Structure 1
Amino acid sequence: MLLYSKAFGIRIEIVLTIMLILIIILGVLLIMTFKKLLYMNRKYYTIMSGKKGMDLEEIVFTRFKEMDKVKAMAKRVSKEHKEAKAHVDSCYSKIGLKKYDAFNDMAGELSFSLAILNNNYSGVVINAMHTKEGCFTYAKEIIKGESFITLSEEEKEALKKAMTTEDEIALLTTPVDDDIYDI
Structure 2
Amino acid sequence: MQELMMIFNKNMSLFILFAIVLGLFDFIVVIIINSKYTKLKNQYKKLIKELETGDVIELLTKNISRNEEFNEKLEKFRKELSMIDSEMKASIKKVGIVRYNAFNDVGSDLSFSIALLDSEDNGIVLSGIYGRNETATFAKPIVRAQSNYPLSAEEIQAIDKARKGQR
Give the deviation of 1:105 after TM superposition: 2.1
**What does residue 145 of structure 2 align with?**
145
**What does residue 69 of structure 2 align with?**
69
**What does residue 81 of structure 2 align with?**
81
Which amino acid in the other structure matches residue 106 of structure 2? M
Residues of 2 paired with 1:107 and 1:52: CA distance?
Answer: 86
Give the deviation of 1:78 after TM superposition: 0.5
**What does residue 108 of structure 2 align with?**
108
Name the TM-score, length of structure 2 as normaliser. Answer: 0.63
Q: Which stretch shows the higher mean deviation, 46-55 or 100-109? A: 46-55
Q: Which stretch shows the higher mean deviation, 110-119 or 88-97? A: 88-97
Residues of 1 paired with 2:76 and 2:65: CA distance?
Answer: 17
Which runs of 5 or more structure 2 residues have no equivalent in the other structure? 1-43
Residues of 2 paired with 1:124 and 1:133: CA distance?
Answer: 27
Q: Larger helix proportion, structure 1 or 2? A: 2
CA deviations on 1:95-154 (whole Å, 9 max, x unpaired) are 211111112222100000011122232111111111111211122110122112221221
Number of corresponding residues = 123
In the TM superposition, 1:38-77 aligns within 5 A as: 47=47, 50=50, 53-77=53-77
Identity of counterpart residues, as a percentage?
26
SS in 1 for 2:121: coil
Give the deviation of 1:52 after TM superposition: 6.9
Which amino acid in the other structure matches residue 107 of structure 1? G
Which runs of 5 or more structure 1 residues have no equivalent in the other structure? 1-43, 167-183
CA RMSD of superposed structures (Å): 2.6
**1:48–1:57 Cα contact (<8 Å) kept:** no
Which amino acid in the other structure matches residue 75 of structure 2? K
**Considering only CA atoms, is the larger Rg found in Structure 1 or Structure 2?**
1
